[in-house]
Chain A
Amino acid sequence: MLELFPLIIVLAFLFETMDSSAGMGFGTGLTPLLFLLGYDPLQVVPILLLSEAITGFTSSYFHHEFENVSFSLKKPYNQETKITGMIAVTGCFAIVLSVVLTYAALDLPKSFIKTYVGILVLIMGFIGMVRLKSKTSRYRPRLLTGFAALAGFNKGIGAGGYGPVVMMGQLFSGIYEKTATAIVSLAEGIVSVVGFASFVFITSYGVTVDYLLLPSIFTGGFIAAIISPYMVRVLPNKMWRIVIPIYAILMGILTLAKVINIIP
């Protein structure tokens, strides 16, 4: 019989709501909470990746449906689609790199790297707050490529922070907040497919993935992936300009709290 955990459904719903509307937080926020509840990494990480893959595609589909973005599936691809492709490809390379590094057993100083990611996200959040005063911004594709590469590098070395860096990078590069959220949802959906495939690959080497939490996380995440794009459509962009950097600051603090072991 299928087992559903109401607390997990509520948590997945809340974090996916923020992830699909502010472009970040599902992995960074939910992972430590599930560890706190006593679940182990193989019950949490692959399940979050699989769930994020499904909800990423669902949420980006509804962002398109509710006109927060316009993706073109046929050539010539529009700017939004090209940007999504660029961000997703960087993220996919990063995930593969992450697996290779894990297998090469390189002894990377994880706490140092996570501190750097936490500080980076925190600074980006603060710059986002300062940026609130400027009314106009210019589209800077090179800057966006740089941020996508930086986010990919972070994820590749296993430090997380992909969503916040890509999201804030898009805003600094002059992309409209509502559209940036939709782009990051689709890119994360694609990246998560590759991430989950990496775990499937690992299972062929004898690692067992526990699917106990999947129905609950999927339920909460899926409902949020439909509601959030509607929320993004209805609420004014001015509000998202404030909410996104504040949430980035919280994610930066959360990452640093994990480094100093305040939370697991």
Chain B
Amino acid sequence: MDKNENVIQIGLLAQALDAEYSIFERMKIKKESLKRVGYAIGFYISVMIIFTIVL
């Protein structure tokens, strides 16, 4: 990780993630995040329904 204080302030989270976890470990995502992906799919379907009605 870069020791420069200012660089650490901007991108701290991503730098820490890269420094502490391997690629395979980074592939795992939290259940909460998966739930949010599900919500996003729900949002997509809703928008497409609106498009079907409006356009």
Contacts and interface: CB of A to CB of B under 8 A. Distances in A.
B47 A218 contact: yes
A32 interface: no
A147 to B, nearest CB: 14
B6 A139 contact: yes
Interface string B1-28: 0111011011111110110000100110
Given A2-B48, A136-B4, A222-B44, A178 B14 contact: yes
A2 B51 contact: yes
Interface string A67-93: 111100000001110010000000000
A234 B26 contact: yes
Q: How large is the interface on B (under 10, 10 to 19, 20 to 34, 35 or more residues)?
A: 20 to 34
Interface SS, B side: helix
Interface in A189-243: 211, 214-215, 218-219, 222, 226, 230, 233-237
Given A214-B51, A226-B37, A176 B11 contact: yes
B12 A139 contact: no
Contacts of B2: 135-137, 176
B15 A66 contact: no
Contact of A230 (B11, B17, B18, B29): B29
Nearest to B23: A234
Interface string A161-181: 000000000000011101110
A40 interface: no
Interface of A: 1-2, 54, 58, 61-62, 65-70, 78-80, 83, 135-139, 174-176, 178-180, 211, 214-215, 218-219, 222, 226, 230, 233-237
